Each structure stands twice: as structure tokens, then as C-alpha cells.
Amino acid sequence: MKSTTGNVDEFPAVVARHFADVFLKSDDTLREVLPLDLNHPPESFTDRSLVRFHGMVQDTSSSPEMYLASLSENKCGGWGISQNMPASEWPSSFDYCDLKEATALWAVTVPGQTTWRTEALTSQSHSTSSSSQNPPRPHKFPVPNAPHIGVQVKIYDNEAAQSLKATDVVTFIGILTSESLDPESEAASSPMVPSLHVLCHKLQSTGDTPPAKELTTTRDDLIKWIADEALGGDEVAAQWLVLELCAKVYIRATPLLLPSLTLSRFPSPAPSSSALPTLHYILSDLLPQYLTVPLSLDLLNKENFSPESKDEDLHSGYLQVPHGTTLLLTENNVHEGKLVEKGIMNIKAIQEVMDAQTLEYSFPFSKFPFPTDIVTIVLCEGWKSAFFQTGFTVPLEIKSSLEADLYKPRDQIKLPDTVKLAAYRSFLAAAKQCYGTVQVAEETSRHIQEDFVRHRQEDPSITADDLIHSMKVARMLAASMLEREVTIDIWERSKRLDADRRKRSP
């Protein structure tokens, strides 16, 4: 590659624009580039192969890497070119102004990205690789012991790189090599890791689809399917679950953050069974970003839930996931025992995500809160969660004949046909997009105010927090109906829905 701009400072941005025009303008062109993923791990490629990596930015704290930007005959020296040159080809002298910096990041396989979403992005069905998986630096992936790809990412267009943040999901196109993690240290002390010299990259869009009125009929079918297959026939609980899945962060004022949900009275699996709830498989088939976290005292006391920097290396945790991820926290394996300090801090971190949608990253001399957008759903056997205060608690009412179906395996689930399943996914995406646009009409606003004053006169214990709670339910219900406005009818329906929920509690 030669620089034709005459300015080595501008050249990386020119390169990025050129390759973005080549690869990122259409999905068809993008998919012509071989993916770097679990089916095509780094060791399956020859050195300096052109690959695409769809990953999550895990760590942005690495020091920039110096490189010689201009070589002899006006050739550029970035993108790993100078690292691969024999000593005989290095210029005998160079201008120190040609020493530039490349931004270095660490990126990993997108945690929680479901199989169908991965297949949609790669246009390939799931297959197994013959290569063994032994990713470097496994502590940088949020889910312990989970297979994944970890890669050192080097971006030469520094201005574009500055906008990338931890948990951003990005598609990188670049040249894959294997290099020392710390090129300035002695080779023996620094491990060799997969390194991607980025030609261009694209931040993933939200993936939401425009609301379509024809999807409104999908809502009732979806609720019934979830109830029958995963919630013991309880359509009320299924409706609350769908409302929860429609929510997202759209304004970071505390009263307007998305609420969390507890499905209580959820029976535990048979003794000594490690079976996952059927709801796990249902949500995996519906959502693009989803993780189950099987809580236990051992997990809480030993694993990381929040990222923590150790020796200038950011270790990940369960909660370091992309915006839009849904977490299912199961308490059924929590038995009597003692929570140590780490377990208590992990519970506090989860509660902070539920309450404020922020996650604290720990550094040697400071802690910084980072914004999150995580839907949290808790399953517990008692009337309420043992650890968390969630926005809504819905006690499950199971038809006795269906109790055993709460833990049936995937191969026993009655799946809808491909077209209907795609409609369910589109509906949830459309409803989530709609949630951020729901407004309250002036006429409805007056009705709500009068309604609140009347109920407060009848019951002085009612507070402004109750009004905020009711408004959240109304917004979620409107979004689940793909309506951009809370009408008087939706307000009254949301009140009845919430009243029915409260009647279930003791």
C-alpha cells in the first residue's frame, strides 16, 4: 500500500473510508469476507488473512502502539506491514515525525449473542470446528469457561477509534496476524495473541425494526406460546414477561429507567438435577442477546460480576455485556450458606444495574460507573426474590398438569414454524423500538391526574412513586401493543393488569 494523500496523518482515515466503501456498504459484500469466529478460529487462518470479526469491545485501556507510518518509496508502514519486514528492508534513517500511534483494544466474541442471531449475521448454520479452542486471556470474557474468541485489535484511524467504548458491539474488517501482546517487552515474557489490524469497522446498529401494525396480532399468539411451553399455562405471567422484554433505556432519569421483573413461586427442578428452565430455551429462540446466570452461593462468592483492573489488565464479569442484553437470573440453586464479601458486592452490582442501569468498573485507585441497558428477569421459588428488589413481582400460577413442563428440554418444545418464529422476533424488536417513543396525550394526561387525585383521596397511602409505577406499566403495555401513545383505554387496561398481579401476592 502506498500513501497518495501526501499526509501520513490523514492516510489511515483515507484507508478506512476506502475499505468501508468496499466492504461495509452491503451485507452481501461483507459476508464475502471470511468470519473470525468459533467455527473459524485464529489458528485456522494463514498469516495476514483478510477476516471480519463481529465482537464486543472488552477493554479500551491498552496503551497505544507506536509504528513507523512511512517507509521507503512512500510505502505505508501501518497495518502490521513494518512488523513483518525483514531488517534488510528497513529504511536506514527515518523522520521521527513519521512515528505514529495505533489504538489498541481487546475484543471478544459477543457474550450472550444467541445462535440464530449469529447465523443471521454470518449466513451460516452452526457447525463445529476441527480446531481446538484455547482462547488467550480467558479472564477477559464475561462468562467463565465459555468458548469464545479473544483478539487484540489495532485501529490506525485513531479519530474513529476514540468513539468506541467498552461493551460496544463492532464489526471489524482487518488483517489477522499473531503478535506479542506487549511488543515493547522481551518476547519470552509476553504471550503471542491473535492480532487484527483493522482496515475499517462499523458499530452495530440497535437491530430494531420499524413497528408494523400487522405484527399486533402476533402479540396474543406469542403470549400463549410462552405460557404453554415455559410457564405452566400462566398467560398473565407470560404477558408480564412480554412487557418486560419490550422495555429498554431511553431516558437516564431514574424514574424512567426500565423496571426489572421477578417471576416468583417458580418451582425448582428435581433434586440433584441441573436442568435449565424451559424459559431459557424460549428466550434464546426469541432474543438476539440473552444469557442465563444460574445463581448459587458458590457462583456469587467466587466469580466476578463487575469488571476489575488487575495489574493494568481489565478482568471481565458477568454484567459486562452489550446494551440490549436480557439476563435470566435463577435462584433455584441457592441453598443455605454464607455470603462472603465478594458475594455481597456481586449482589450489590446486580441491584445497581436493576435500579440505575449502571455498572461500576474497578481500577486500582478509583471506580467509575458505566451505563448499561440490561433487562433483568429473576426466577425464584418463594413469594419474592431472596436477594433483589425488582420493579415487578408476578407469582406464577401453574396448571398442575403442566408443572413438569417448566424444565422440559429443548427437543420437547413445540416450536412454531419458521415464519411465525420470525414474526415473534420482529414483534419484540418493534415493541422495544416503540417503547422509546411512547408519549402521553394531553387528554390522557388530564385523565391520569384526575384519576390519581381521586385514588389518593380514597387512600392517603398512595404516593407519587405509585403514579410513576403505574406510568411504567402503561408505557410498557402501549409498546407491547405497538402504540406510540398511552390512551385512556391503555391506561385503564394497565391498571387492571397491575391490580390482577397484586391480587396474586399474599
Which tens digit of pLDDT belongs to each residue from 249-287? 988 876 678 899 999 999 988 776 678 999 999 999 999
Residue located via cell numbers 402504540: 483
pLDDT in tens, 361-415: 999 888 999 999 999 999 999 999 999 999 999 999 998 666 668 999 999 999 9
Kindly state the DSSP code that residue 289 receives in the 8-state scheme.
B
* Cα distance between residue 279 and residue 6, in whole Å: 59
Contact indicator for 501, 236 with CB cutoff of 8 Å: yes
Q: How confident is the model at residue 153, as a pLDDT?
A: 97
pLDDT tens digits for range 435-463: 989 999 899 999 999 999 999 998 888 99
Q: What is the number of other CB atoms lying within 10 angstroms of the CB of residue 288?
A: 22
**pTM, two decimal places:** 0.92
Please tell me the distance from the alpha carbon of residue 304 to that of residue 293, in angstroms, as a whole number: 12
What pLDDT, in 10s, does the model give residues 16-27? 999 999 999 888
Task: Give the pLDDT confidence score for residue 272 in this predicted structure.
Answer: 63
More confident residue, 200 or 311: 200
pLDDT of residue 501: 94
What is the predicted pLDDT for the residue at 10?
87
When pLDDT is cut at 50, 70 and 90, the band that residue 144 belongs to is very high
Q: Give the pLDDT score at 69.
A: 77
Phi first, then psi, for residue 329 (nearest 5°) are -100, 115
Using an 8 Å Cβ cutoff, are 277 and 293 in contact?
no
* Predicted pLDDT at 120: 85
Contact 110, 54 (CB under 8 A): yes
Quote the distance between the C-alpha of residue 5 and its chain's center: 39
Report the pLDDT averaged over residues 134-161: 94
pLDDT value of position 94: 63
Are 382 and 494 in contact, with CB atoms under 8 Å apart? Answer: no
CA pair distance 433, 101, nearest whole angstrom: 39
* Separation of alpha carbons 377 and 330, rounded Å: 8
76-85, 137-146, 183-192, 301-310: least confidently modelled range: 183-192
Q: Calculate mean pLDDT across residues 205-223.
A: 71
What does R_g of the chain's alpha carbons equal in angstroms? 26
Average pLDDT for 465-491: 94
Residues 6+ apart with CB under 8 A from 291: 111, 112, 143, 318, 321, 325, 326, 327, 328
Mention every residue, 6+ apart, whose C-beta is less than 8 A from residue 99. 66, 67, 68, 69
